[in-house]
Structure 1
Amino acid sequence: MDFSLPSAPAVGAVIPSRYEATSMCYHENGKRLFVAYEAGSLLQAIDCMSGSAAKPALKCEDERIHCLEATHHEECVLIAGKGSPTVPSNQRSAITYWSLYDNKILRKFRGHTDQITKISMNPADDTFLSSSKDRTVRLWSAQSAGSLAELKLPGDRTSKDPLAAFDCTGLVFAVTAKMAENQGQYLHLYDARNYGVGAFAELKIKRDDIEKALQSFVSVSPDQLATFSHADFTSLQFNTSGNKILAGTDRGMSFVMDGFEGTIQGVFVSTSQRPAVSCFSSDDKTIMVGNEDGSITCWDVETGSMVKRLDGHPDPVQCIASNPKFAQFASASTQTALWTW
């Protein structure tokens, strides 16, 4: 993906919606894009080849979809939502395995007792990870309802909700959680084939390291420095090479970290104070960051310099994702745009 080309990327298609998107992901074959809308409990499947909705948006009653993940089947997704306010909170936290082909729920995965924060599908098999505000991470198989394993955060060492994500091979997964007393973030790496023995790498991203990185990579005031260094992680993603990790925060800031040592290699600040909206390009060379004014800033991963600013959305960018197979990425607010080369 060459962002230096004057006319690339350009919007190839725009798919409108009544609601703001809350979650978005591509299928692994790159031909389908799935977009979820919390306000309407809707899910839309977009044909990335034609740039049009593959079928009318489907409604999952009362789910208020917050998390969305594609499975290996092109017509099936995993979703989690905030649930109906009329249902007790400990019953709203199931993960739904949904067939879009015939609009049927294939399975419910129950076990979490609070809102799901992330779902991550293993690219190698039918297992997936979920993390929750109940301070646990669970491993599941799409073929059975019960969880295969559960990791509980130690209350004396951590203060915030975990996030978990598989790398591009499915052989490694990462779990991150905030340290107690705002001291930084834990980043633990696990062997997916032997997770029972514990993490093979227990890394720490200390608050001092975050502050030093901020001072090195971006120009911030003392007040901004304190605000950003106390930010909570809200998203977690490996690049396709598996050697870097992108973490978004609730203060509109994203970090790029070494995937083996956890050292901060870049900091990217958006114009938004909402949770950061960012992703790697499929060739790992660029990070796209969505902004409050509807623009997208594109940053070179190695140099940290901005290579392009894209304007197109009339509203704040809510979601962004990179196509794993084709020269395309998608961004969404109330409109979903497909950017192509």
Structure 2
Amino acid sequence: MVGPQSEREDKVSLELTEEIIQSMEIGMVFKDYSGRISSMDFHRTSGYLVTASEDESIRLYDVSSATCLKTINSKKYGVDLVCFTSHPTTVIYSSKNGWDESLRLLSLHDNKYLRYFKGHHDRVVSLSLNSRNESFISGSLDRTVLLWDQRTEKCQGLLRVQGRPAISYDDQGLVFAIAFGGYIRMFDARMYEKGPFEIFSVGGDVSDANVVKFSNDGRLMLLTTMDGHIHVLDSFRGTHLSTYNVKPVPSNCTLEASFSPEGMFVISGSGDGRAYAWSVRSGKEVASWMMNSEPSVINWNWMNTDTEPPVIKWAPGSLMFVTGSTELSFWIPDLSKLAAYVGRK
């Protein structure tokens, strides 16, 4: 799997190529979930991964050793979205019980709730933490985006929206984006009360926004929508660069996509249950994968069924991405395939 921090930093300098993407295969899989994985997050510096599952569990993994360090159950509240704070064993997560939409700050070290954040009145569908301070934002089906400080239970700000919001901070924590209704609205985090300083169109796609994200260098952003579109834009000018299309997702699901560490590729789930990768430079699909961990088992009916898309995230500074469905899979390059590519050149 992935080595220590210094080794991960060395890997960042390697150029991620189409051949490396095409060689990716499952290197490790965890099959002990009794429900679908609904969310996962990598800690920025520690090499930890956290997952949330419909089996009402939160699990902490050490990526370098490919081991599950801890499982914590949230039977009373359920769990839907989960994000690391700056601390590698503290997370914020949303409920999934239908009667309490509070967000919770949880210590995974001793399984203690440190704080409750009450304010939403419907399911929280988007959550983003500021990497530079203690603030975070949450978006809900109650058509509000709330701004929070981890150190206090009281909401610090409220923005009303006209649809299902997708939200994200940029890597510097200076700007955040709110997407809904076919547009991405850009806010200065220090002066959000003044409204958006830019509004970018996504080409008339007015289907529900699912996920909005910035690339690591902040130059690009992506937006996924329920109709199965992944839009890539220049985050400074709002220029629409490309749109990738996958099978639409069921109405109760979220289509997730992720930039590779250097921002040159986009990987995404799909309503057909597969994962796909595209080159940002060419706009072309470069690879696709079935999510079943047994390569010999093929579901020939996948094209005719509505399937929940896998949760998908690229590991920071690493030649690895992770997918979550009813299994958690770590995808790494197959070195034997890469040797074959080199031999052909």
Tell me if TM exceeds 0.5: yes
Q: Percent identity?
A: 26
Q: What SS does the corresponding residue of 1:134 show, helix, strand or coil?
A: coil
Question: Could you tell me whether the CA contact under 8 Å between 2:146 and 2:156 is conserved in 1?
Answer: yes
User: Paired residue for 1:112?
Assistant: 120
Residue in 2 aligned with 1:45? 60
Q: Are the counterparts in 2 of residues 313 and 333 from structure 1 also a CA contact under 8 Å?
A: no
Give ranges in structure 1 of 5+ residues lacking alignment: 179-184, 211-228
Match of 2:287 in 1: 308
**Contact 1:252 1:277 (C-alpha < 8 Å) held by counterparts:** no
**RMSD value, Cα:** 2.0
Deviation at 1:6, TM superposition (A): 8.1
Residue 38 (structure 2) pairs with residue 22 (structure 1): yes
| TM-score, structure 2 as length reference | 0.81
| Pairing partner for 1:168 from 167, 171, 183 | 171
Cα deviation for residue 252 of structure 1 reads 2.4
1:188–1:203 contact (8 Å) kept in structure 2: yes
1:335 aligns with 2:327: yes
Tell me the TM-score normalised to structure 1 length.
0.82
TM-fit CA distance, 1:295: 3.2
Does 1:35 find its partner at 2:14? no
Supply the AA of the counterpart residue of 2:310.
Q
AA in 2 matched with 1:165: S
Is 2:255 the partner of 1:276?
yes
Distance 1:30 1:129 in 2: 23
Deviation, 1:82, is: 2.4
- 1:205-284 equivalences in 2 (<5 Å): 205=202, 209-210=203-204, 229-274=205-250, 275-284=254-263
1:201-222 superposed Cα distances (whole Å, 9 cap, x missing partner):
13344xxx34xxxxxxxxxxxx
Matched letter for residue 36 of structure 2: E
**Segment of structure 1 superposing worse, 8-17 or 308-317:** 308-317
Counterpart pick for 1:128 among 127, 133, 136: 136
In the TM superposition, what are the counterparts of 1:133-212 in structure 2 within 5 Å?
133-153=141-161, 158=162, 160-178=163-181, 185-205=182-202, 209-210=203-204
- CA distance, structure 2, for counterparts of residue 2 and residue 30 of structure 1: 26
CA–CA distance in structure 2, aligned partners of residues 252 and 23 of structure 1: 19
**Aligned 1:1-80 pairs, distance under 5 A:** 1-5=16-20, 8-16=23-31, 17-29=33-45, 31-38=47-54, 40-55=55-70, 57-80=71-94
Describe the superposition over 1:290-337 as per-residue Cα deviations: whole angstroms up to 9, x where unpaired: 235543221001211112223442685420001113222101111111
Question: Which residue of 1 is the match for residue 343 of structure 2?
Answer: none
Runs of 4+ in 1 over 6 A off after TM superposition: none
Given residue 73 of structure 1, which amino acid in structure 2 is its aligned partner?
H
Helix, strand or coil: the match of 2:27? strand
Corresponding position: 1:318 with 2:310: yes
Which deviates more from structure 2 when the two are superposed, residues 4-13 or residues 250-259? Answer: 4-13
Give the whole-Å Cα distance in 1 for the aligned partners of 2:275 and 2:180. 28
Matched, 1:101 2:109: yes
CA–CA separation in structure 2 for the residues paired with 1:20 and 1:268: 25
Q: Name the count of aligned residue pairs.
A: 301
Is the 1:270–1:276 Cα contact (8 Å) retained in structure 2? Answer: no
Moved more, 44-53 or 58-67: 58-67
Q: Work out the CA distance in 2 between the residues paired with 1:186 and 1:197.
A: 18
Give, in whole Å, the separation in 2 of the partners of 1:325 and 1:124: 18
Q: Secondary structure of 1:5's match?
A: helix
> Which letter maps to 1:283?
E
Instruction: State the SS of the aligned residue for 1:105.
Output: strand
SS in 1 for 2:179: strand
Deviations along 1:99-129, one digit per CA (max 9) or x if unpaired, are 1111111110011122111110001111001
Structure 2 portions without partners, runs of 5+: 1-15, 294-306, 334-345
Match of 2:6 in 1: none
Q: 1:237 to 1:143 in 2, by over 3 A?
A: same
Report the alpha carbon displacement of residue 251 of structure 1 after superposing the two structures with TM.
2.2
Name the structure 2 match of 1:216. none
Matched, 1:287 2:295: no
Partner Cα distance (2:36, 2:95) in 1: 15
Structure 1 position 63, deviation (Å): 2.2
**CA offset at residue 260 of structure 1?**
2.4
Secondary structure of 2:81's aligned partner: strand
Distance in 2 (CA, whole Å) between partners of 1:293 and 1:164 is 25
Q: Residues 294 and 161 of structure 1: is their aligned pair in 2 closer, same or farther, counting only changes over 3 Å?
A: closer
